């Protein structure tokens, strides 16, 4: 029985690896206190960086392939589901210039991206 439990724990660890830290990005999931997004910047792949009204930057990871073909994050819109003004992983990102919306997989506090601060430790991935 003990061997089965150890094997099960090992399989879970392999199936869900702990994500490595990203330079300049928090390892903890966050909630954006206000949906008042002042600026948005496109990262690589399915990553966007957004700045809220208090000048805090966040790194948003959206579902795989959703932002394909989008060259800019200008005009990015976040649609909240439910009451309140905060943005969490249940919100939806409306991609500008495309007839699609993306679900948010991760929100983490971040330093400004390199397009904003050339000395930033943040990578666009």
Q: What is the pLDDT of residues 41-94, one digit of tens each?
A: 889 989 999 999 999 999 999 999 888 877 777 777 888 877 777 888 889 988
Higher pLDDT, 48 or 16: 48
Q: In 3D, which of 71, 123, 80, 122 has the Cα closest to residue 101?
A: 80
State mean pLDDT over 29-49.
Answer: 89
Residue 31 inside a domain? The answer is yes
Structural domain total, the chain: 1
User: Looking at beta carbons, which pairs linking 96-101 to residues 24 or more positions away fall under 8 Å?
Assistant: 96/70, 96/72, 97/70, 97/72, 98/69, 98/70, 100/66
For the chain, the distance separating the N- and C-terminal CA atoms, rounded to the nearest angstrom, is: 42
In a domain, 84, yes or no: yes
In a domain, 118, yes or no: no
Residue 70 is predicted with a pLDDT of 78
**What pLDDT is recorded for position 35?**
76
Residue 10: inside a domain, yes or no? no
pTM: 0.79
| CA distances for 106 relative to 63, 67, 113, angstroms | 9, 15, 16
Q: Give a yes or no: residue 11 inside a domain.
A: no
Q: Which residues pair with 93 in a beta bridge?
A: 78, 102
Q: Which domain holds residue 50?
A: 23-110
């Amino acid at each position: 029985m003990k061997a089965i439990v150890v094997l099960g724990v090992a399989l879970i660890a392999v199936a869900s690896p702990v994500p490595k830290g990203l330079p300049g990005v928090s390892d903890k999931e966050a909630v954006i206190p206000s949906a008042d997004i002042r600026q948005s910047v496109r990262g690589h792949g399915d990553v966007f960086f957004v700045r809220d009204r208090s000048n805090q930057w966040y790194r948003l990871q959206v579902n795989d392939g959703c932002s394909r073909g989008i060259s800019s994050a200008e005009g990015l819109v976040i649609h909240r589901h439910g009451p309140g003004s905060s943005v969490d992983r249940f919100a939806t990102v409306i991609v500008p210039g495309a007839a699609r919306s993306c679900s948010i997989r991760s929100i983490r506090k971040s330093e400004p991206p390199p397009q904003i601060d050339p000395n930033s430790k943040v990578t666009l991935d």
